[in-house]
Structure 1
Amino acid sequence: MTHDSIPMARSAVLDGFEITARSFGLDPGGLLRTARIPDASLRDADLPIPTASVITLLEQASAAAGTPSFGLLMAQARAISVLGPVALLMREQPDLRGALSSLTRLGWAQAEGLESSLEDDGETTILSFSLSPGLPHPANQTIELTIAAIVRLLRHFLGPDWSPQMLTFSHRRPADIGPYARFLGIMPVFRLERNSIVMLTTDLNRPIEHADPAFGRQLERLVESTVRQRGAARSQQVSDAIRRMLPTGDCSAPRIADMFGIDRRTLHRWLAAEGQSFSQLLDQTRAALCLQYRSEGSHSLTEIAQLLGFSSLSAYSRWRRIRESSTC
């Protein structure tokens, strides 16, 4: 991630949001639009969305639902695979120590701006979570969702009977604490210095059954590659977003700006600083994908037109004629 880039998250972090929102009679689409997150985020797990927008969305959903445990409910509704390659990498480590080490080193590939650290004094180990400066506060729902999801993942690795020694949150204790013991299996302690999962150090040596360390090393290279891509220039981040949004038919400069939590003018300033424009990136991305799809030979012209975000085959044909020098 570049110094001045906006922290982004995989849209997979919204897994469980729609079903949880609907369980309270809320409109998921309306909440997403208020937080300036595209509806496609619920269908494409790898769409980049601003971490700040995710935090805002969950706080607004919690308020609209009238429950302080919205994040906990989301954690219960989501799939274990939501962490994507990071969860798979953790799963293939020989023991819990290796799994947590992978999480603290590469977990930000899932959500930039959400940081984790591991402290071990020989008897007790503390896995702590915090948000980067500049992200919205409060972020109670995001923190609770994260800790609940990790506790659930660790139980998946070590068995349903495993339990942490303590869970701590820095925010105020809510009036209704019933869901915490029910969903987490332990009552957290509130208003402490950090947000953390406290466990015995001996837990770190517990093996993860059926792990394949060799496969884990391959996954680690994949995740590290993802991390390097996250460090790309803003123009590359925009190109990646265009590539994701083209098949939806709604790939415009305002829509892409919304994905990054900025307005259209800011998007243009971003790109101009790198000698690019949105129209150039859109055209370049379409050209590259056009060449790819045509070389594959598995798509009809109508399908290619749709994949490139054109409203009709004739619009696609006109674009190809205009690009006389294109390899398409």
Structure 2
Amino acid sequence: MNPTYEIRSGTLAGFNTLVPQLGGSPARLLAAVGLPVDCVRRPDILIPLATLVDLLNLCVCELNCSDFGLRLAEMQGLRMLGVLGKLLLGEENLDAALGASHRYMVLHNQADHWRLAEGNGCLIARRVSHSDGAKGSEQYSELALGAACRLFRELAGEDIRPRQVHLRHSPLSPPQRYHEYFEAEVLFAQEYDCLVFEVELLQRPLKAPSESLVQYFEEFTRALLLEHRGDVAGQVHTLILQTLGAQQHSLAQVAQLVDTPVRTLQRHLRAAGTSFKQLLLEARMETARWHLRASNIGIGLLSASLGYTDTSAFSKAFRTVHGRSPLQWRKQQR
């Protein structure tokens, strides 16, 4: 039986804005593929990749928009990272910010992840798909590459241009549309999807965020916390899940996000019968189980993305909680 790959609903950031601009109803389109109407406002809902693919293709047909994936990508960038996007604004340079966003994408998507490599003066951001050959997934591929390119620009400057863009499939829109979006040479029918940049970009400092972006993250964080109003443990657990890729899981960081003094937050957690350390472990194990059930992610990559110093530390923690190693647990689930 083929695994059911899932992706978090944050990948639909901008959907409720774009669809009305094209004359459509977001609620009707979401309902047509069986998704809850509020999933766009709740970035942690799990969506089967096949359902997301169906939604994108339905939008193409219903809205007569062959470049829907690219249009949606244009509205994403940092916003698709949720609370983590807020933390990235404080990173020193593009290299550090990309490292954190890469780990976030690894942890929040079972269907694929990104592999960053340097060579011959280039930075190659390659999309590694676990569901190669999935029927009709070309719009999703364009959304993924388009959003990644948008992320580079929103972090470090609108003047950033890839050297080249590689797509595995044939063009879905006129080739000129791809050149307009990426402002680079776009090659089709390639071995894999990737973006190629000048390696010097990694040392570029991050640009100052716009006022609208800062306001977006403030409102996003408040809305997330309101979902767990009165439940401090639930709030902290949610924030840890949202920021796992940052690997800065300190009580001080979370206290800042909930606008509460560290000692006060510690006291509230003790009163709730838990601790920051326990909630961090639970969030890591929850995410690990989610991947081990379905994705083909390597244990080493999963371990590093969760913030463990090495694979053995992750395996020891997992065995303590579940009574068996990650590989044994995965085999049992399969």
Normalising by the smaller structure, the TM-score range is 0.5 to 0.7
Q: Which residue of 1 aligns with 2:40?
A: 42
CA distance in 2, matches of 1:219, 1:186: 30
After TM superposition, the score normalised by the length of structure 1 is: 0.60
CA distance in 1, matches of 2:170, 2:290: 39
Q: Could you list the runs of 5+ residues in structure 1 that have no partner in the other structure?
A: 235-272, 275-328
CA distance in 2, matches of 1:218, 1:136: 27
Residue 128 of structure 1: how far off its partner (Å): 0.9
Q: Which residue of 2 aligns with 1:247?
A: none
CA distance in 2, matches of 1:186, 1:197: 10
Which shifted more, 98-107 or 31-40?
Answer: 98-107
Q: Do the aligned partners of 1:167 and 1:189 also contact (CA within 8 Å) in 2? A: yes
Residue 217 of structure 1: how far off its partner (Å): 9.7
Q: Do the aligned partners of 1:168 and 1:192 also contact (CA within 8 Å) in 2? A: yes
The percentage of aligned residue pairs carrying the same residue is 21
Alignment match of 1:54 (pick from 48, 52, 57): 52
Residue 47 of structure 1: how far off its partner (Å): 2.1
Larger-Rg structure? 1
CA distance in 1, matches of 2:100, 2:110: 15
Give deviations 1:74-117, integer Å, cap 9, x for gaps.
12234632212443454443222223333333313332212111
Q: Which residue of 2 aligns with 1:110?
A: 108
Aligned residue runs from structure 1 range 73-92, under 5 A: 73-78=71-76, 80-92=78-90
Q: Which residue of 2 aligns with 1:220?
A: 247
CA RMSD of aligned residues (A): 3.4
Which shifted more, 73-82 or 124-133?
Answer: 73-82
Give deviations 1:209-246, integer Å, cap 9, x for gaps.
579xxxx9994245986554223479xxxxxxxxxxxx
Residue 56 of structure 1: how far off its partner (Å): 1.9
Give deviations 1:151-197, integer Å, cap 9, x for gaps.
12211222111211111111102352333233322342211111111
Aligned residues between the structures: 231
The answer to whether the aligner puts 1:162 opposite 2:160 as a matched pair is: yes
Q: Do the aligned partners of 2:103 and 2:245 also contact (CA within 8 Å) in 1? A: no
Change (3 A) 1:219 1:173: closer
Residue 134 of structure 1: how far off its partner (Å): 7.1
The answer to whether the aligner puts 1:146 opposite 2:173 as a matched pair is: no
CA distance in 1, matches of 2:69, 2:153: 18
Q: Could you list the runs of 5+ residues in structure 2 that have no partner in the other structure?
A: 210-242, 251-279, 292-331
Aligned residue runs from structure 1 range 195-214, under 5 A: 195-209=193-207
Counterpart of 2:287 in structure 1: which amino acid?
A: R
Which shifted more, 88-97 or 13-22?
Answer: 88-97
Change (3 A) 1:129 1:89: farther
Alignment match of 1:230 (pick from 287, 291, 299): 287
Q: Secondary structure at the match of 1:63?
A: helix
Change (3 A) 1:157 1:137: same
Q: Secondary structure at the match of 1:194?
A: coil
CA distance in 2, matches of 1:233, 1:99: 25
Give deviations 1:10-56, integer Å, cap 9, x for gaps.
22211222332223333322322232211121332222222321122
Aligned residue runs from structure 1 range 22-33, under 5 A: 22-33=20-31
Alignment match of 1:14 (pick from 9, 12, 21): 12
CA distance in 2, matches of 1:32, 1:96: 35
Residue 130 of structure 1: how far off its partner (Å): 3.2
Which shifted more, 109-118 or 4-13?
Answer: 4-13
